Structure 1
Amino acid sequence: MAIYKGCEAFAIHEGYEGLVNGGGMIAPMGWDDVRGFLSKGGTLIGTARCMSFMERAGRLQAAKNMVLCGMDALVICGGDGSLTGADKFRSEWPSLIAELVSTGQMKEEDVEPYKHLNIVGLVGSIDNDLSGTDATIGCYSSLERICDAVDDVFDTAASHQRGFVIEVMGRHCGWLALMASIATGSDYVFIPEKPPRVGWQKQMCDIITKHRSLGKRRTIVIIAEGAHDRELNKITANQVKDLLTKDLNLDTRVTVLGHTQRGGQACFYDRWLSTMQGVEAVNAVLEATPDTPSPVITIRENKIERSNLMECVALTKKVTKAIQDKDFDLAMQLRDVEFKEYFESYMMTTSTDHPKLRLPEPKRMRVAIIHVGAPAGGMNPATRAAVAYCLTRGHTPIAIHNGFPGLQRHHADKPLGSVREVKWLDADPWVNEGGSEIGTNRGLPSADMAMTAHTFELYKFDALLLIGGFEAFTAASEMRKARDEYEAFKIPLIVLPATVSNNVPGTEYSLGSDTCLNTLLYFCDAIRQSASSSRRRVFVIETQGGKSGYLATMAGLAIGALAVYIPEEGINIHMLARDIEYLRENFAKDAGASRAGKIILRNEQASDVYTTQFIADIIKAEARGRFESRAAVPGHFQQGGKPTPMDRIRASRMAIKCMGFLEERFTHIGKENCAADPMSAVVIGIIGSEVKFSALGGPDGLEAKGTDWKDRRPRNEFWLGDKGTVDILSGRPKPEDSCEECGKTLYDTKLGPVVSRS
């Protein structure tokens, strides 16, 4: 982005150490120098703790090196310590420049263009411990490492009926421990912000004993490395292990994950977040003035923002102080909006059959749960959370197997019909299972509306939770519209979006889309390796998504695709000609360089004419032997295996929100008022970081104003603005500058002005 904006970019190797030492540790960077960075873990330019930068003499040398290299802006990616040091460096900058002149190290005319330093911070922290942002770069990749490790422990734990105490990072922040506990269904969790109360030993043993009595064969306890009790006495993994061994006679092991949590490839969310924040960092640097407070790039409610760096650092330190002062309520409040909700969700799904949480008999419901549409990661964790909530509150959870066709045709089958009550032990193992354990398909109630209504009455459903994609949205709409004819549908209906296409109106995020994107990323990374090894090869990869280009666009951003073709833009011959010419120039410039593999992504319905294979064939023909192309179609592989941690934790949060909403509607409106209440049929959605309920019906409802029924997608697709960023970062020529017929000069965002290519 810096090069695109006309700036000169440098990489400072080994952190502040490189800034102080200068020389070859400060290197100019071009487009090709960062090729392949997206798929690599860690940092490819190195990082190190630098004691000399903490002293003024070190910062003076750093300032001199920056001036010698012609740098007047600095983008720092690190934790709060690195960012605080950068802000101090900026505040001292005028005096450092003055000292360089007064001591004769530099001349006045040499430093004149560098009287002011602009800095921007990017937060890189696996702990997600900076206040003022919903996520930090690296936290979700680390969470993925943890969940992979815990998933692997499941098998041996269940086989031997063992307990495992797993220690994760987080000295002052319990985000990793809490999210890992939700994503893996641990039996107990210890976090610094919410230490257990006096008597926690008995509480933990009671919960584990209860779970064991229900038939659970494995026990998992997750503990943050900074865990302590309410008197700040440290709680260690070995203490917990000894307690379980002694009091419960449970064969228990300790696993400390350590620095494995920092390794591996970055997941989709971290690639997207770091890319978009990097783009915003360049914009912030260019727009800064000497009076602008040092900004840090954050994400709030799914929007990239600029926040006051030192205010965020101060808030972070305030959390640590609140913990030290034993003000744990304040510590929880100072975390991001989602943190407290996630903790409450975890407690609700763990405290199974707790008498104090059960509702009185008249307020209890028979809640039907159905999966509709194609399988998506997160369907099972969402169902598990909904079942756990129901059992905790005294409701009866009922699973409808194999969607609406199963309900219509097989509800009365013997010995097992398609309508079955779900027990806690049935659903608990679903926490990390992909696909749909109760079965799903695209069938709709309209195939036999009368039979659907009959089964609703027969089994006395009081509420319905539909988990699925656009078909689930359509099914809820059909039943809502049929209420005048069928009384059975006058119950609260709620759709929890779960589809890889992320095309359900009323939400910016659907369960399964993150799992799909991560699966697609790893597929593309492997394909790129093949393409790069062959040096001169282009792969055209087909993504799913229906008439929505969300998957292709987001994946293109995260893998550095050369071009992305989506239904919203379509494909034409001029577009292909421009991209093929761009490929020719790229391969000519690469001259056999490594990491030179090229990937083009095409949504499966981007064009009826220009198919994936057809595009690959055109590229091969037009290459005239200079390079070659291949088509690759991952197909249903994109649905993924186990759901990603993000899909799991959001499934839990949203499912519990759904159940709370159904409780509230059931209690307050009753059947007689259900049809008149627009909020009796809704979609739950994540808009930004906020969970919202949007009505299907009514003049302003999603059916009338929010849905493109023809193309099966929302009318306003929030992600479309990112498509331009994909093209900019790939260096793809702009369409308006590519008119070969008129002979105008073309402007290539990577190679600069280019003579007409006719």
Structure 2
Amino acid sequence: MTETSPNEASQNETNIAPVLDHPNPRGVRRVAVLTSGGDAPGMNAAIRAVVRTATHHGIEVVGVRRGFSGLHRGDMRLIGARDVANIIQRGGTILLTARSHTWRTPEGRARGAQYLRDWGVDGLIVIGGDGSFHGGHFLQQEHGIPVVGLPGTIDNDLYGTDHTIGYFTAVETALDAVDKLRDTGASHERIFVIEVMGRHAGHIALDVAVAGGAEEVFIPEDPKPVDGIVEIVQESVSKGKASSIIIVAEGFPGGALGVAQAIEAGTGLETRVSILGHIQRGGTPVSSDRVLASRLGEAAVYALMDGHSDVMVGRQNGEIGFTPLPETWEKRKDVNRDLYRCAKTLSV
């Protein structure tokens, strides 16, 4: 990352003239980008897309390190096209990420806004989830700094986009673990209860359950009694199944441990609990996340050039669109109910 001061031109971009294949009616000359909250595979691809799209149009990019925590401390550097070379395949985020209690205060946001003004920033791109979008929304409301959000969270729980950056990779990572656990479960004739991420949403759990051939799936959107799993397991045993896979989203009441305890208490059968946890956040992003991040990163720069603010850039039905930031957390994004039915049908 290039070491520069607020008023220095980026050495990487000094000799690059704007390529005006997209209008810039606001005359945007410098934008900032940060990643905030939990990391998600594909964040680096989004950063790369932001930097290279901006560079293509003669716009400088300020990279903010450690999210809003770094912004209110002025931890910022100019970054250019060469700074984002060979990062598209890397998990995590080169800008680092953090959660900031200070940013939740008006004083913290005021300090961050002043740093952005000192750097001559014309707009801020926030890559993260609903908590990050709250921070960007209040910054725009209180200080008038244009903010555009990119949906970077593995939970896929933001309204206004079919998928979020990192979701596809998280599903593949969890599915790989489920396949391995199925092998050992079949060998030992055991029941595995596997907990995947999804504090408030069951998107990961549902996709993994269908793709992994699970006998049952528990999601926060349907807080059904766990007693029903006893009958399902008993029926599976009566049909000659030597092992079973149960998928539980972490946000389901009681989690995987609660489901496992209900199975053991009701059937006397031995169960094993596997909580996949943060392993789902790491790793090389799959192609779908890289493509989505690249499309949305490019669109975020264009959004600022076109004068959009306080919106999230998302993709719905293959089309890029904008959703007001408050709607991304105020409106509920439900799981695919057809897929939920499919999971039940195929588990017989």
Tell me by how many angstroms 1:20 deviates. 1.1
Structure 2 SS opposite 1:90: helix
Please say if 1:17 is aligned against 2:36: no
**CA deviation string 1:541-590 (max 9, x = no partner):** xxxxxxxxxxxxxxxxxxxxxxxxxxxxxxxxxxxxxxxxxxxxxxxxxx
**CA deviation string 1:123-178 (max 9, x = no partner):** 11111111222111111111111111111101110001001111111121111111
Give the alignment partner of residue 120 of structure 2, picking from 70, 77, 82: 70
Q: Provide the rounded CA distance (Å) in 2 between the counterparts of 1:134 and 1:164.
A: 30
Kept in 1: contact 2:191–2:244 (CA 8 A): yes
Please say if 1:148 is aligned against 2:176: yes
Partner of 2:270: 251
Query: What 5-or-longer segments of structure 1 have no aligned partner?
Result: 95-116, 229-234, 320-333, 353-758
Moved more, 155-164 or 130-139: 130-139
Tell me by how many angstroms 1:249 deviates. 2.8
Give the alignment partner of residue 104 of structure 2, picking from 51, 54, 78: 54
**CA deviation string 1:509-541 (max 9, x = no partner):** xxxxxxxxxxxxxxxxxxxxxxxxxxxxxxxxx
Q: Provide the rounded CA distance (Å) in 2 between the counterparts of 1:93 and 1:84.
A: 14
* Aligned positions of 1:615-694 closer than 5 A: none
Q: Provide the rounded CA distance (Å) in 2 between the counterparts of 1:119 and 1:267.
A: 28
Q: Provide the rounded CA distance (Å) in 1 between the counterparts of 2:207 and 2:222.
A: 14
* Aligned positions of 1:324-723 closer than 5 A: 334-335=333-334, 339-350=336-347, 352=348
Partner of 2:316: 300
**CA deviation string 1:52-74 (max 9, x = no partner):** 22222222221221122121110
Structure 2 SS opposite 1:37: coil
Please say if 1:220 is aligned against 2:241: no
Partner of 2:15: none
**CA deviation string 1:7-50 (max 9, x = no partner):** 0111101001221111xx21111111000111110111101111
Q: Provide the rounded CA distance (Å) in 1 between the counterparts of 2:119 and 2:323.
A: 29
Tell me by how many angstroms 1:308 deviates. 1.8
* Aligned positions of 1:13-162 closer than 5 A: 13-22=65-74, 25-94=75-144, 117-162=145-190
Tell me by how many angstroms 1:305 deviates. 1.6
**CA deviation string 1:614-661 (max 9, x = no partner):** xxxxxxxxxxxxxxxxxxxxxxxxxxxxxxxxxxxxxxxxxxxxxxxx
Kept in 1: contact 2:147–2:309 (CA 8 A): no
Kept in 1: contact 2:260–2:272 (CA 8 A): yes
Kept in 1: contact 2:136–2:310 (CA 8 A): no
Tell me by how many angstroms 1:313 deviates. 2.1
Q: Provide the rounded CA distance (Å) in 2 between the counterparts of 1:242 and 1:308.
A: 43
Structure 1 SS opposite 2:55: coil
Structure 2 SS opposite 1:2: helix
Relative to the length of structure 1, the TM-score reads 0.38
Please say if 1:271 is aligned against 2:290: yes
Shift in alpha-carbon separation, 1:208–1:32, aligned structure 2, 3 A: same
Partner of 1:185: 213
Q: Which amino acid aligns with 2:306?
A: E
Partner of 2:49: none
Partner of 1:6: 58
Q: Which amino acid aligns with 2:55?
A: I
Tell me by how many angstroms 1:304 deviates. 2.0
Q: Provide the rounded CA distance (Å) in 1 between the counterparts of 2:329 and 2:190.
A: 42
Q: Who wins on radius of gyration, i.e. which is larger?
A: 1
Tell me by how many angstroms 1:349 deviates. 1.3
Tell me by how many angstroms 1:194 deviates. 1.1
Tell me by how many angstroms 1:303 deviates. 1.8
Q: Provide the rounded CA distance (Å) in 2 between the counterparts of 1:225 and 1:285.
A: 36
Query: What 5-or-longer segments of structure 2 have no aligned partner?
Result: 1-52
Please say if 1:208 is aligned against 2:224: no
Tell me by how many angstroms 1:293 deviates. 4.9
Larger fraction in helix: 1
Relative to the length of structure 2, the TM-score reads 0.81
**CA deviation string 1:704-725 (max 9, x = no partner):** xxxxxxxxxxxxxxxxxxxxxx
Kept in 1: contact 2:221–2:334 (CA 8 A): no
Partner of 2:48: none
Q: Provide the rounded CA distance (Å) in 1 between the counterparts of 2:345 and 2:224.
A: 16
Q: Provide the rounded CA distance (Å) in 2 between the counterparts of 1:171 and 1:250.
A: 28
Kept in 1: contact 2:220–2:252 (CA 8 A): yes
**CA deviation string 1:93-136 (max 9, x = no partner):** 15xxxxxxxxxxxxxxxxxxxxxx22110011111111222111
Tell me by how many angstroms 1:312 deviates. 2.1
Tell me by how many angstroms 1:250 deviates. 1.8
Aligned residues: 296
Q: Which amino acid aligns with 1:299?
A: R
Give the alignment partner of residue 260 of structure 1, picking from 279, 287, 295: 279
Q: Provide the rounded CA distance (Å) in 1 between the counterparts of 2:296 and 2:340.
A: 28
Tell me by how many angstroms 1:217 deviates. 2.2
Q: Provide the rounded CA distance (Å) in 1 between the counterparts of 2:196 and 2:314.
A: 24
Structure 2 SS opposite 1:39: coil
Q: Provide the rounded CA distance (Å) in 1 between the counterparts of 2:193 and 2:345.
A: 21
Shift in alpha-carbon separation, 1:341–1:59, aligned structure 2, 3 A: same
Give the alignment partner of residue 284 of structure 1, picking from 300, 303, 309: 303
Tell me by how many angstroms 1:206 deviates. 2.4
Q: Which amino acid aligns with 2:97?
A: T
Kept in 1: contact 2:216–2:344 (CA 8 A): no
Kept in 1: contact 2:148–2:309 (CA 8 A): no
Structure 2 SS opposite 1:3: helix
Tell me by how many angstroms 1:214 deviates. 2.8
